[in-house]
Amino acid sequence: MATVALDLLGGDGAPGVVADAVARLTDPAAADASIDLIVVGPAATARDLLAERGVDPGRLRIVDAGRGASMAGNPLTALRAHDDVTVSVAVGLVRAGIADAFVSVGHTGAAVAAAVLGLGRLSGMSRPALAVVVPSLAGPVVLVDAGAAPDATPDVLRQFALAGWAYATSLGVTDPAVGLLSIGSEDGKGDRLRRSAHELLAETLPPLGVRYVGAVEGHDVAVGSQAQVFVTDGFTGNVLLKGIEGAVRWAAQRMGEAYGDPEPARAVLRATGTGDFAGGMLLGVNGVTVVGHGAASAVQICACVRLADRAARLGLVPATQRALTSLAGP
Amino acid sequence: MATVALDLLGGDGAPGVVADAVARLTDPAAADASIDLIVVGPAATARDLLAERGVDPGRLRIVDAGRGASMAGNPLTALRAHDDVTVSVAVGLVRAGIADAFVSVGHTGAAVAAAVLGLGRLSGMSRPALAVVVPSLAGPVVLVDAGAAPDATPDVLRQFALAGWAYATSLGVTDPAVGLLSIGSEDGKGDRLRRSAHELLAETLPPLGVRYVGAVEGHDVAVGSQAQVFVTDGFTGNVLLKGIEGAVRWAAQRMGEAYGDPEPARAVLRATGTGDFAGGMLLGVNGVTVVGHGAASAVQICACVRLADRAARLGLVPATQRALTSLAGP
């Protein structure tokens, strides 16, 4: 059993929607009751919201923190100015060993900054990256980075490749193939960053036992047959991930019309947000950190908590550190 | 009526699939019979393929060119070395005023290089861009650049914005809103290129009467409610466009399963490739140039030809030049 610290004040629908998620996760009739939860937020508010939802106070802990992360300005500045911001307090619980993982569906920049400040980076990881599991036609694939580091260098992409490989392996993918997201599989295609990164990855990954398959394209992410780890900068990854989300919304609408019955298509659309796809795993910090979509529903928040719980139990952080360290040699 | 020069040797299924498209386009029973076609390729091959398909030789012209563009190496080098490459010959017909537009579903780099070499760039356009019309839920939207210029600068993105605006306007979109594809609508988000470009677009587009709505996100392209012109570099645009294509394939599979009948979902998927979405319009060269997907079917090649015909009749090139010139002032 892993202990997960959950940010009560993160997300567009917070704190209500987070309290809804807590009610689901602590429902004794649900399988999720095995997760040990710590809710981090204003204690009185938390108690009231949970009581309204009939949550047994004995099924979770509440740690008091009065202030949500600001959506405006530089998140680092705001986090340094106050010691009662929920994301900082939640991360502090992980650092102190009281919790095994931290989950927020609030401002991504604030959650990432709190994790980097509070947990520190793994050795060999200069920029932490958000990894998202996409349920492709061929099975789960990892897209990294989905938005934490908008500007990358070839060496940063190599770090993402190793961390993403460790994540896919932790999730049970055997010998995942690593591809570099680009725009055509011929040599010499892609932008400057990709042309340099391709050479570096081709040279350094195979000696580490990481299967590198070269350039892969945007459509390969949802199809999933060419690679299981898709490496890109956080700008491209975020645009692509949201583009895929928009396209599935488009398809749910158009295909629902084609069948004359919207509901089955909508159910497929909803299901995409309720699995591992709901949360981004922050790779490269010294603790399990899951950042969800600001618009997350209670079901999606539950999915983020389950993902964090699983990663903690599977030892994602030591596995990521081993992959990064292997690059430095024995 | 516009005259369209079509590359017989471009595309994964060339020349057969291109000949199939010609047979459809010249079918007297079809509405497409109004398009005046010139097929550019080895004349004897063209005659044989068209005769096999029962095409009346009086319904089109054939211009002899024996060599397809090479898929390997630098396209410019190959085009300069030979004077009988189909894309160069077809572009030459446009330059000479014999054709009004050029269409190829072959190697994108070769078609773009041939157009730039043979037609020249419009004044004010340093890097031509591929614009694709996406059939979003809210109506047609233009994504520019979809892959011609992988590395861009803020000034190049401004050129793309004006050319994309002119294209959307030519296609009948009234007062199209221009958005900069980014990763979050808050100021200060995005990568370095987007932060600089945002300031430049916000400052220079509104005085020209172009409605600039700031940052838009990946999901907005398929939804279409935030903007009608999505501006980005060719790397991001190509990854996004292919990501959307892959996601729609994903949805067709999963939604077909959910309904227990794959066919209506597949029909929606097929329809996405048979409208304006089938072809990229090369903006910023002095002649109408449409580049389609290498894997294009005959129906998709027909869609590319129709798009070229329409752009020529609507005066896309002078409209694009006016938009670019407006930036230089009266």
**ipTM score for this prediction:** 0.93
pLDDT over 80 at A82, yes or no: yes
pLDDT of residue B167: 95
Distance from CA of A266 to the nearest CA of B (A): 9
CA–CA gap between residue B299 and residue B250 (Å, rounded): 22
Q: Would you call A222 and B267 a contact, using CB atoms and an 8 Å cutoff?
A: no
Whether the CA torsion A26, A31, A36, A39 is positive or negative: it is negative
**Nearest CB to A244 within list B192, B238, B247:** B247
Q: Does B16 touch chain A (CB under 8 A)?
A: no
Q: Would you call B244 and A241 a contact, using CB atoms and an 8 Å cutoff?
A: no
Q: Would you call B235 and A265 a contact, using CB atoms and an 8 Å cutoff?
A: no
pLDDT of residue B264: 97
Which of A238, A257, A291 is the mutation pick for testing B, counting most B CBs within 10 A? A238
CA–CA gap between residue A195 and residue B262 (Å, rounded): 40
Amino acid at A288: V
Q: Does A169 touch chain B (CB under 8 A)?
A: no
Q: Which of chain A's residues have a Cβ under 8 Å away from the Cβ of B244?
A: 218, 243-244, 246-247, 250
pLDDT of residue B293: 87
**B229 CB contacts (<8 Å, ≥6 apart)?**
B141, B142, B144, B161, B164, B165, B167, B168, B176, B177, B178, B179
Residue B166's pLDDT band (cuts 50, 70, 90): very high
In what helix (H) or strand (E) does residue B102 lie, and over which residues does it extend?
strand B101-104
Q: Does B194 touch chain A (CB under 8 A)?
A: yes
Asked whether the beta carbons of B177 and B142 are under 8 A apart, the reply is: no
**Nearest CB to A150 within list B190, B248, B261:** B190
Residue located via tokens 């990521």: A320
pLDDT of residue A80: 86
- Residue A317, domain member (yes or no): no
Residue A187's pLDDT band (cuts 50, 70, 90): low
CA–CA gap between residue B196 and residue A151 (Å, rounded): 13
Q: Would you call B268 and A251 a contact, using CB atoms and an 8 Å cutoff?
A: yes
Q: Does B70 touch chain A (CB under 8 A)?
A: no
What is the SS3 assignment for A30? coil
Q: Does A190 touch chain B (CB under 8 A)?
A: yes
Regarding whether B74 and B12 lie in a shared domain, the answer is yes
**Nearest CB to A190 within list B150, B232, B251:** B150
Q: Does A244 touch chain B (CB under 8 A)?
A: yes
pLDDT over 90 at A185, yes or no: no
Asked whether the beta carbons of A223 and A137 are under 8 A apart, the reply is: yes
Residue B280's pLDDT band (cuts 50, 70, 90): very high
The per-residue pLDDT for range A120-151, each reduced to its tens digit, is 999 999 999 999 999 999 999 999 999 998 99
pLDDT over 60 at B330, yes or no: no
**B49 CB contacts (<8 Å, ≥6 apart)?**
B15, B16, B19
Q: Provide the number of CB pairs (under 8 Å) joining chain A to chain B.
A: 191
Distance from CA of A19 to the nearest CA of B (A): 26
What is the SS3 assignment for A75? helix
The per-residue pLDDT for range B36-92, each reduced to its tens digit, is 999 999 999 999 999 999 999 999 999 999 999 877 777 788 888 888 999 999 999
Q: Would you call A268 and B247 a contact, using CB atoms and an 8 Å cutoff?
A: no
Regarding whether B240 and B166 lie in a shared domain, the answer is yes
What is the SS3 assignment for B140? strand
B residues 124-153 closer than 8 Å to A (CB)? 136-137, 147, 150-151
Regarding whether B258 and B152 lie in a shared domain, the answer is yes
Q: Which of chain B's residues have a Cβ under 8 Å away from the Cβ of A134?
A: none
Asked whether the beta carbons of B206 and B163 are under 8 A apart, the reply is: no
Regarding whether B149 and B101 lie in a shared domain, the answer is no
CA–CA gap between residue B299 and residue B255 (Å, rounded): 24
Of B278, B308, B324, the position where a domain reaches its end is B278
- Residue B212, domain member (yes or no): yes
Q: Would you call A255 and B242 a contact, using CB atoms and an 8 Å cutoff?
A: no
State the CATH number of the domain containing residue A243. 3.40.718.10
Distance from CA of B28 to the nearest CA of A (A): 31
Q: Which of chain B's residues have a Cβ under 8 Å away from the Cβ of A147?
A: 183
Asked whether the beta carbons of A305 and A37 are under 8 A apart, the reply is: yes
pLDDT of residue A186: 59
Regarding whether B135 and B109 lie in a shared domain, the answer is no
Distance from CA of B161 to the nearest CA of A (A): 18
What is the SS3 assignment for B181? strand
CA–CA gap between residue A186 and residue B150 (Å, rounded): 14
Distance from CA of A101 to the nearest CA of B (A): 26
Q: Which of chain B's residues have a Cβ under 8 Å away from the Cβ of A194?
A: 150, 235
pLDDT over 80 at A96, yes or no: yes
pLDDT over 60 at A104, yes or no: yes
Regarding whether B232 and B172 lie in a shared domain, the answer is yes
What proportion of chain B, given as a percentage, has pLDDT over 70?
Answer: 96
Q: Which of chain B's residues have a Cβ under 8 Å away from the Cβ of A136?
A: 250
Beta bridge partners of A285: A121
Q: Which of chain B's residues have a Cβ under 8 Å away from the Cβ of A240?
A: 218, 239-240, 243
pLDDT over 60 at A293, yes or no: yes
**Nearest CB to A251 within list B188, B192, B252:** B252
Mean pLDDT of B303-316: 94
Q: Does B202 touch chain A (CB under 8 A)?
A: no
Regarding whether B274 and B168 lie in a shared domain, the answer is yes
The model's pTM: 0.94
List the helix and strand counts (H, then E) for chain B.
12, 11
Q: Does B253 touch chain A (CB under 8 A)?
A: yes
Mean pLDDT of chain A: 93
pLDDT of residue A155: 96
Tokens found for residue A118 = 């509070």
Q: Which of chain A's residues have a Cβ under 8 Å away from the Cβ of B110?
A: none
Mean pLDDT of A186-192: 76
Q: What is the total count of domains within chain A?
A: 2
Amino acid at A307: L
CA–CA gap between residue A83 and residue A66 (Å, rounded): 9
Mean pLDDT of A26-50: 89
Q: For Cα atoms B12, B17, B18, give the angle at the middle one, nearest 5 degrees.
A: 100
Q: Does A201 touch chain B (CB under 8 A)?
A: no
Compute CA distances B173 → B168, B204, B234, B312, whole Å: 5, 21, 23, 17
Tokens found for residue A197 = 């990164």
A327: burial class by Cβ within 10 Å (0-12, 13-18, 19+)? middle
User: For the ranges A196-200, B78-82, B223-227, which has the lowest average pLDDT?
Assistant: B78-82
The per-residue pLDDT for range B297-306, each reduced to its tens digit, is 999 999 999 9
Mean pLDDT of A300-324: 94
CA–CA gap between residue A266 and residue A270 (Å, rounded): 6
Regarding whether A159 and A109 lie in a shared domain, the answer is no
Regarding whether A103 and A83 lie in a shared domain, the answer is yes
Across A6-44, b (16+ Cβ under 10 Å) vs e yields bbbbbbebbbebbbbbbbbbbbeeeebeebbbbbbbbee
Domain that holds residue B257: 126-278
Regarding whether A33 and A139 lie in a shared domain, the answer is no
- Residue B320, domain member (yes or no): no
Asked whether the beta carbons of A258 and A161 are under 8 A apart, the reply is: no
Compute CA distances A324 → A159, A166, A194, whole Å: 7, 9, 21
Q: Which of chain A's residues have a Cβ under 8 Å away from the Cβ of B245?
A: 218-219, 247
Q: Does B218 touch chain A (CB under 8 A)?
A: yes
What proportion of chain B, given as a percentage, has pLDDT over 90?
Answer: 82
- Residue B324, domain member (yes or no): no
- Residue B274, domain member (yes or no): yes
Mean pLDDT of B250-269: 96
pLDDT of residue B24: 94
- Residue B290, domain member (yes or no): yes
The per-residue pLDDT for range A234-262, each reduced to its tens digit, is 999 999 999 999 999 999 999 999 999 99
User: For the ranges A22-36, A253-267, A307-321, B213-227, which has the lowest average pLDDT?
Assistant: A22-36
Tokens found for residue A230 = 């898709």
Q: Which of chain A's residues have a Cβ under 8 Å away from the Cβ of B250?
A: 136-137, 222-223, 244, 248
A residues 30-69 closer than 8 Å to B (CB)? none
Regarding whether B249 and B153 lie in a shared domain, the answer is yes
CA–CA gap between residue B32 and residue A240 (Å, rounded): 36
Query: Which residue, among B256, B114, B243, has the nearest Cα to A132 in the 3D structure?
Result: B243
pLDDT of residue B28: 85
Residue A34's pLDDT band (cuts 50, 70, 90): confident
What is the SS3 assignment for B177? strand
Q: Would you call A222 and B238 a contact, using CB atoms and an 8 Å cutoff?
A: no
- Residue B305, domain member (yes or no): no
Query: What is the SS3 string spanning A202-244?
Result: HHHCHHHCCEEEEEECHHHHHHCCCCCEEECCHHHHHHHHHHH
Q: Does B318 touch chain A (CB under 8 A)?
A: no
Q: Would you call A137 and B255 a contact, using CB atoms and an 8 Å cutoff?
A: no
Residue B185's pLDDT band (cuts 50, 70, 90): low
Regarding whether A99 and A44 lie in a shared domain, the answer is yes
User: For the ranges A278-282, B2-6, B162-166, which has the lowest average pLDDT?
Assistant: A278-282
- Residue A80, domain member (yes or no): yes
Mean pLDDT of A180-206: 89
Q: Which of chain B's residues have a Cβ under 8 Å away from the Cβ of A182?
A: 235, 239
Helix B154-170 and helix B316-327, axial crossing angle in degrees, nearest 10: 140
